[in-house]
Amino acid sequence: MCGIIGIASNKPVSINIINSLKKLEYRGYDSAGLATLNKSEINEKKCSGRVEELEKILFKSPSDGNLGIGHVRWATHGIPNLVNAHPHSSEVVSVVHNGIIENSDEIKKKLELKGLKFKSQTDTEVITLLITESLKDNEPLESVFNTLKQLKGSFALGIIFKNHKDIIIGARRGSPLAVGYSNEENYLGSDSYALKSMTNKISYLDDGDLCILSKDKVEFYNVNKKKTNKKVYTLSDDENVSDKGDYKNFMSKEIFEQSTTVKNCINEYVDSLKKDINIYNFSIKPEKINKIFLIGCGTAYHSCLVAKYWFEELTTIDVEIDIASEFRYRKLKFNPDNLYIFVSQSGETADTAAALDICKKNNVKTCSVVNVVESTIARNSDWVLPIHAGPEIGVASTKTFLGQMLVLYILCLKLAKSRKDINDTIYQTNIKNLKALPDAIKESLKVENSVQAMAKEFLDAKGSMFLGRGLSFPIALEGALKLKELSYLHAEGYPAGEMKHGPLALIEEGLPVVVIAPKDKYFEKTLSNMQEVIARGGKILFITDHKKELVNENIRFGIRVPSLDNLLSPILLTIPIQLLAYHVALLKGCDIDKPRNLAKSVTVE
Ligand code: F6R
């Protein structure tokens, strides 16, 4: 899941490449690099680490050239260092790549037998050398087509040629790639976000497509080498949302804007006058739905897990959930009466997109819950439910997790009502509760000071646990995931009732254990599970919406969020666990917006 950019212009491009790479850093930040064409020479600059470093290198030794490509890397083949940084260039060609070439070892061996030498450990360099070989007898377009035929795996490519100084070739299989248009300038980019400061006119390459762009023209070819036309989309203007304002980092901004993003989302879906949810464009008749599959990865998967409890509570529909990387390899019996829902913030996650493709090949109805409405997953699904959270820049999902849960809840309510699984009174009560949610979120954010104090308890810990039951179990999983990814502290999320079946062995004197226990049918049972932890020395950090004063000398900290309605408790209980991970990471001096080894958009399998 690297990020790539290409610009063909009538003026120097290196500064705009750097600016776009900064936007693409959410896709990877192990290294950065660019190559421009300068008087028919390929001028390559690279660094390990962040784009900031590359910018410094360019400041000391500027690169001119009106055409160029750039890259930010999330390492797959080869360690993150300078040698493995992209672009990978030969005398005649320079390549940036996002994806994985699965048969690179095989190709490498063949090329080495021919006497060719490799500089890096990357899979990408085979592309550079295959094109270089083919260019001896062919023009650039044919050379790229010849090369692509030999590759297995996924890629989005940007390629420039020393002897063809006006063109950039882009190609896509699996990994996303967009083209942007402007006056006397055209662009290639991993996504529209990278191009947005330069243009709002975008087209997307489909799988197998290739494009040739120069400063005043873009041509597209499909997998059969036939010229094709592409739809041009005009992007919405939400650029201002990508500014962190007075916040220290994007994550804190994104946590604190949740009452607004949730309100915006509710306003999009709830018709206050008709007191109804305005989702009408079902791709499958609600009463005909036999079963719902909810599929996602990471945090998005946790929102599916929360929604499973909601669907079971409010509808008569059977629900199955799965992690996309598992779903895509299962031997499933596809049923046209099932609805397959894909949840993804970015809409570009490779496993989720592949799982969706499998459903499409099996002619079943698909729906996507996404934040990026121009994304591959949104474009490929029959029916899209946007979460309207605005751009999320922090690598850890926060406001989009709330958005995903919210949209799934709204969909669940609408389906329950349309199928007559709930009556109008219950429907109206739930809509009323929904409308109270933004203010309750605002209230919940006031726990920050208490959470800050609680965060200190994790500083010397060897690990930690998050426990919950029912609707709070997915929130325990999410709490553990957030803590791990932001503070690099080991954390396990567990159903509280499951502890005695093994994990209790992990509890020892002083281990921080976060117990998430809203006032629901599990409350007393969770307290009993908590006692089992206390008896073994666990240090309890208790999060609830119960108004009852809990007197227990063994609870080190207690956090209370407002109580709205049992069904909505996961949304409010998420706030303290987000803040907790944030403050532990801050105390430990971690890079909040760009945790190590991660990237925002996971476009590799
Ligand atoms: C964790 C996180 C990831 C993503 C996962 C799926 O904070 O952000 O676990 O949820 O990579 O990404 P999307 O939602 O873009 O499909």
Dump pLDDT digits (tens) for 315-363. 999 999 999 999 999 999 999 999 999 999 999 999 999 999 999 999 9
> pLDDT tens digits for 116-149?
999 999 999 999 999 999 999 999 999 999 999 9
Identity at 478, one-letter amino acid code: E
Centre of ligand 1 to C-alpha 485, Å, is 11
Query: Does residue 401 have a pLDDT over 70?
Result: yes
What pLDDT, on a 0 to 100 scale, did the predictor assign at position 330?
94
Centre of ligand 1 to C-alpha 598, Å, is 10
- Contact 299 CB / ligand 1 (< 6 Å): yes
Nearest CA to 72 out of 191, 245, 168 is that of: 191
Model pTM score? 0.81
Integer Cα distance of 155 and 92 in angstroms: 21
- Contact 352 CB / ligand 1 (< 6 Å): yes
What pLDDT, on a 0 to 100 scale, did the predictor assign at position 280?
80
Residue 270 contacts residue 279 (beta carbons within 8 Å): no
165, 253, 365, 600: which one is catalytic? Answer: 600
- Contact 349 CB / ligand 1 (< 6 Å): yes
Centre of ligand 1 to C-alpha 297, Å, is 6
Centre of ligand 1 to C-alpha 357, Å, is 19
Nearest CA to 159 out of 178, 176, 143, 180 is that of: 143
In which band, very low, low, confident or very high, does the pLDDT at 503 lie, cut at 50, 70 and 90? very high
Integer Cα distance of 382 and 384 in angstroms: 7
Centre of ligand 1 to C-alpha 396, Å, is 7
Centre of ligand 1 to C-alpha 302, Å, is 10
Placement of tokens 């990387």 in the chain: 325
Centre of ligand 1 to C-alpha 300, Å, is 6
Q: Whose CA is nearest to atom 9 of ligand 1?
A: 298
Question: If you compute the radius of gyration of the chain from its CA atoms, what whole number of angstroms results?
Answer: 25
Q: Whose CA is nearest to atom 16 of ligand 1?
A: 344
> pLDDT tens digits for 171-186?
999 888 999 999 989 9
Sign of CA dihedral 441, 443, 444, 449: positive
Ligand 1 atom closest to 349 (CA): 16
End-to-end CA distance of the chain: 9
Query: Does residue 241 have a pLDDT over 60?
Result: no
Centre of ligand 1 to C-alpha 301, Å, is 8
What pLDDT, on a 0 to 100 scale, did the predictor assign at position 469?
98
Region 394-404: mean pLDDT is: 97
- Contact 346 CB / ligand 1 (< 6 Å): yes
Does the active-site annotation cover 590?
Answer: no
Q: Give one DSSP letter per residue of 447-508, joined into a string.
A: GHHHHHHHHGGGTT-S-EEEEE-GGGHHHHHHHHHHHHHHH---EEEEEGGGGGGTGGGG--
- Contact 397 CB / ligand 1 (< 6 Å): yes
Ligand 1 atom closest to 395 (CA): 8
Q: Whose CA is nearest to atom 6 of ligand 1?
A: 297
What pLDDT, on a 0 to 100 scale, did the predictor assign at position 86?
96
> pLDDT tens digits for 545-566?
998 776 677 788 899 999 999 9
Query: Given phi > 0 = left and psi -120 to 50 = alpha, else beta, which region is 49?
Result: left
What pLDDT, on a 0 to 100 scale, did the predictor assign at position 239?
47
Centre of ligand 1 to C-alpha 320, Å, is 20
What pLDDT, on a 0 to 100 scale, did the predictor assign at position 70?
98
What pLDDT, on a 0 to 100 scale, did the predictor assign at position 240?
44
Region 213-221: mean pLDDT is: 96
Q: Whose CA is nearest to atom 10 of ligand 1?
A: 299
40 CB neighbour count, 10 Å cutoff: 11
- Contact 186 CB / ligand 1 (< 6 Å): no
Ligand 1 atom closest to 396 (CA): 7
- Read off φ and ψ for residue 235, nearest 5 degrees: -80, 150
Ligand 1, pocket-test mutation among 190, 251, 297, most atoms within 8 A of CB: 297
Mean pLDDT, the chain, as a whole number?
93
Query: Does residue 7 have a pLDDT over 50?
Result: yes
> pLDDT tens digits for 267-302?
889 988 778 998 887 878 999 999 999 999 999 999
- Contact 168 CB / ligand 1 (< 6 Å): no
Centre of ligand 1 to C-alpha 326, Å, is 15
Query: Does residue 244 have a pLDDT over 90?
Result: no
Ligand 1 atom closest to 602 (CA): 11
- Contact 574 CB / ligand 1 (< 6 Å): no
Query: Does residue 68 have a pLDDT over 50?
Result: yes
What pLDDT, on a 0 to 100 scale, did the predictor assign at position 37?
95
> pLDDT tens digits for 11-53?
999 999 999 999 888 788 899 999 999 877 899 999 999 999 9
Does the active-site annotation cover 412?
Answer: no
In which band, very low, low, confident or very high, does the pLDDT at 263 lie, cut at 50, 70 and 90? very high
Query: Does residue 602 have a pLDDT over 80?
Result: no
Ligand 1 atom closest to 401 (CA): 10
- Contact 252 CB / ligand 1 (< 6 Å): no
Ligand 1 atom closest to 301 (CA): 10
- Contact 325 CB / ligand 1 (< 6 Å): no
- Contact 404 CB / ligand 1 (< 6 Å): no
Nearest CA to 110 out of 135, 95, 130, 82 is that of: 130
SS3 365: strand
Query: Does residue 242 have a pLDDT over 70?
Result: no
In which band, very low, low, confident or very high, does the pLDDT at 570 lie, cut at 50, 70 and 90? very high
Centre of ligand 1 to C-alpha 574, Å, is 16
Query: Please, which residues bridge with residue 401 across strands?
Result: none
What pLDDT, on a 0 to 100 scale, did the predictor assign at position 581?
98
- Contact 16 CB / ligand 1 (< 6 Å): no
Q: Which two tokens stand for residue 200?
A: 């709002």
Ligand 1 atom closest to 298 (CA): 9
Measured CA distances, 506 to 6, 118, 478, 532, 584 (Å) = 51, 47, 20, 12, 21
- Contact 300 CB / ligand 1 (< 6 Å): yes
SS3 341: strand
Integer Cα distance of 20 and 8 in angstroms: 14
SS3 120: coil
Q: Whose CA is nearest to atom 3 of ligand 1?
A: 298
Q: Whose CA is nearest to atom 7 of ligand 1?
A: 396
Query: Does residue 150 have a pLDDT over 90?
Result: yes
Residue 524 contacts residue 551 (beta carbons within 8 Å): no
Ligand 1 atom closest to 398 (CA): 7
- Contact 345 CB / ligand 1 (< 6 Å): yes
- Contact 344 CB / ligand 1 (< 6 Å): yes
